[in-house]
Amino acid sequence: MSKTFRGNRLHIAILGRCNTGKSTVLNHITGQQAAIVSAQPGTTGDPLPLAFELLPLGPVTFYDTAGLDEDSDLGILRRERGRKILARADMALIVTDERGIGPWEEDSVTALRTLETPLLVLGNKRDRHGEAAQRAMAWCGERGIPYLPLAADRDEDPAILREAIIGLAPEKNVREPLVADVLPDSAPVICVTPIDASAPAGRLIVPQVQVLRELVDTRHPALVVQPSELGRALALLGEEPGLVITDSQAVREVAGMVSPHVPLTTFSIVFARYKGDFSLLLNGASCIGSLPAHAPVLVAEACAHHEQDDDIARVKIPALLQQYLGRPLNFTFVTGEDFPEDIGRYSLTIHCGGCMLNPREMRRRLKLCAAANVPATNFGMTISAAQGLLERVTAPFRKA
């Protein structure tokens, strides 16, 4: 369960004021002492992630966040970290106590509803409830917000709380297909996975693993080869593959070896549809050719790592784009959870495939770009566009 890809889990944020019992609620849900509990305000610092198997939802990640009202410079920084968690949360639990609903809770509800995030208000410390808690229940009822009273430090059975959380989950918790829906029944697939200095030691990258698992699940025979073995694989197959999927960095080489009428795409383009907004990203790629000299371009990666000599985000894509356009561009790079809110100052955003982000966060970032009228595309589309292959490698999904 802990090895389930982070981007495929439901993310559940737990928020509230200091000492409402957020960490105690987390411990109650999970049945373990996962979070430190103390009467001292500010005990919870940076959002604490905890993976948990919440059946029938499957693996989820809970985030225990700092108190909304922590009154210190550090508290402000902690709330900012919590706000970033909130932006990508699929669901949220607001924990209050005998003090009921105040401005902090009201602001949180407003933010969550703006993000269209399902939420549940937990009236903790039930044994102390009085008029304020009764008003909180009525306040939630008037707004159609589910409210559950509990005593997280005393209740022995978390079943009622777990059922409430399960009932909160988005109705459509079914994974979208990666490639199976564009394949003929039982059609074989060739996956081209270069193993070079940027490949992770001893393993394949997340998109490759997920595609292979789907092919196994849907009974599509798959051959996995490096580019140098592709010709041999095509000969051994004895029939034309239903699809060839390659790493974007090998797309030009692979396209030269695969018959033009054999469907071809890249793992990054697969994720443009799976995690993002395929049409929006495709439109963004069509804007690359019109970038003026010195245009500001944002390059965003969801996973943080040290820069390599042939780093795809910081070295290869900038070099490829400037060579393709014949003019210099000004690049800004962000990694991990960092993503600028003032996106309007860029002429183009180029995002990774987002395999380490959940779909909600990936699509939120794309919505920010769309709202600011900033074209957005992803690594795979950018590389293919700069090599004149965009139409070919997106064709399987445009037809779908």
Is the pTM higher than 0.75? The answer reads: no
Q: Considering only the C-alpha atoms of the chain, give the largest distance between any 2 of them, rounded to a whole number of Å.
A: 77
Is residue 398 domain-resident?
no
Q: Are residues 193 and 105 in the same domain?
A: no
My answer on whether 251 and 125 are in the same domain is: no
Reported as a pLDDT band with limits 50, 70 and 90, residue 56 is: confident
Q: What pLDDT sits at residue 45?
A: 47
Does 26 map to a domain? yes
Do 234 and 160 fall into the same domain?
A: no
For residue 3, what pLDDT band results from cuts at 50, 70 and 90?
Answer: very low
Same domain, residue pair 140 and 44? yes
Residue 337 inside a domain? The answer is: yes
Asked if 308 and 276 touch (Cβ cutoff 8 Å), the reply is: no
CATH number at residue 251: 3.40.50.11420
Residue 5 pLDDT class (50, 70, 90 cuts): very low
In a domain, 102, yes or no: yes
* pLDDT on residue 78: 55
Contact residues for 386 (Cβ-Cβ < 8 A; gap 6+): 288, 320, 321, 323, 324
- At 214 the pLDDT is 95
Write out the residue range of the structural domain in which residue 387 sits. 278-392
The crossing angle, in degrees rounded to 10, of helices 103-114 and 73-88 is 30
| Cβ atoms of residues 318 and 299 within 8 Å | yes
| More confident of the two residues 251 and 40 | 251
Shared domain check, 302 and 240: no
Cα 358 from Cα 341, distance rounded (Å): 18
Domain count, the chain: 3
Q: What confidence tens digit (pLDDT) does each residue in 170-190 have?
A: 765 456 789 999 999 999 999
Tell me the average pLDDT across 230-252. Answer: 94
Domain-ending residue, one of 236, 269, 302? 269
CB burial string 10-32: b at 16+ within 10 A, e below: bbbbbbbbbbbbbbbbbbbbbee
- For the segment 273-313, what is each residue's pLDDT rounded down to a tens digit? 988 899 999 999 999 999 999 999 999 998 765 566 678 89
User: Which DSSP letter does residue 330 get?
Assistant: E
Instruction: Tell me whether residue 398 is exposed, middle or buried, using C-beta atoms within 10 angstroms of its C-beta: 0 to 12, 13 to 18, 19 or more.
Output: exposed
Domain boundary among 142, 168, 194: 168
What secondary structure letter does DSSP report for 277?
A: -
Average pLDDT over residues 223-233: 95
Closest CA to 351 of 377, 369, 374: 377
Question: Looking at 212, 234, 269, which one is the last position of a domain?
Answer: 269
Give the pLDDT confidence of 75-127 residue by residue, as tens digits.
455 556 667 788 778 899 999 999 999 999 999 999 888 888 999 999 999 99
Q: What is the mean pLDDT of the chain?
A: 87
Nearest in space to 78 (alpha carbons), one of 22, 2, 29: 22
269 membership: H or E segment, kind and range? helix 267-274
Residues 47 and 133 in one domain: yes
Residue given tokens 């009822």 in the structure block: 141
Q: Would residue 384 count as lying in a domain? A: yes
Examine the domain organization and report whether 239 and 292 are in the same domain: no
Whether pLDDT at 235 is above 70: yes
Q: Judge whether 397 lies within some domain.
A: no
3-state secondary structure of 15: strand
pLDDT-derived band at 8, boundaries 50, 70, 90: low
Region 153-182: what's the mean pLDDT?
Answer: 84
SS3 state at 60: strand
Residues sharing a CB contact under 8 Å with residue 113, sequence separation 6 or more, in sequence order: 119
**pLDDT for res 332:** 96
* Angle of helix 390-399 versus helix 379-386 axis, rounded to 10: 130
Please, are residues 222 and 191 in contact by the beta-carbon 8 Å criterion? yes
Q: Which of 381, 374, 375, 328 is nearest to 352 (CA)?
A: 381
Amino acid in position 322: Q
Rounded mean pLDDT of 392-398?
A: 94
Question: Nearest 10 degrees: CA dihedral of 152, 156, 162, 164?
Answer: -70
Q: pLDDT per residue over 26-53, tens digit each? A: 999 988 775 545 455 544 445 678 888 8
The answer to whether residue 400 is domain-embedded is no
pLDDT-derived band at 169, boundaries 50, 70, 90: confident
- Residue 303, domain CATH: 3.40.50.11410
DSSP helix/strand/coil, 222: strand
250, 298: one domain: no
Q: Are residues 292 and 216 in the same domain?
A: no
Does residue 95 share a domain with residue 148? yes
Structure tokens given for 198: 């940027």
Whole-number Å distance between alpha carbons of 353 and 361: 12
How many C-beta neighbours within 10 Å does residue 322 have?
17
More confident residue, 4 or 386: 386
Instruction: Give the per-residue pLDDT at 309.
Output: 64
Bridge partners of residue 331, in order along the sequence: 297
Q: How far is CA 72 from CA 68, 75, 249, 317, in A?
A: 11, 5, 47, 42
Residue 271, φ and ψ in degrees, nearest 5: -75, -20
Q: What is the pLDDT of residue 282?
A: 96
How much is the pLDDT for 291? 97
Q: Tell whether 399 is covered by a domain.
A: no
Query: Is residue 192 predicted with pLDDT exceeding 70?
Result: yes
| b/e sequence 358-377, b meaning 16+ C-beta within 10 Å | bbbbbbebbebbbeeebbbb
Nearest C-alpha neighbor of 169 from the set 276, 54, 83: 54
Cα distance between residue 106 and residue 109, in whole Å: 5
Phi, psi at 101, each rounded to 5°: -100, 125
Task: Work out the pLDDT band at 2, boundaries 50, 70, 90.
Answer: very low
The pLDDT value recorded for residue 364 is: 85
Quote the pLDDT of residue 398. Answer: 85
Residues 214 and 82 in one domain: no
Same domain for 44 and 134, yes or no, is yes
- Report whether 311 contacts 198 (CB < 8 A): yes
Structure confidence by residue, pLDDT tens digits, 118-148: 999 999 999 999 999 999 999 999 999 999 9
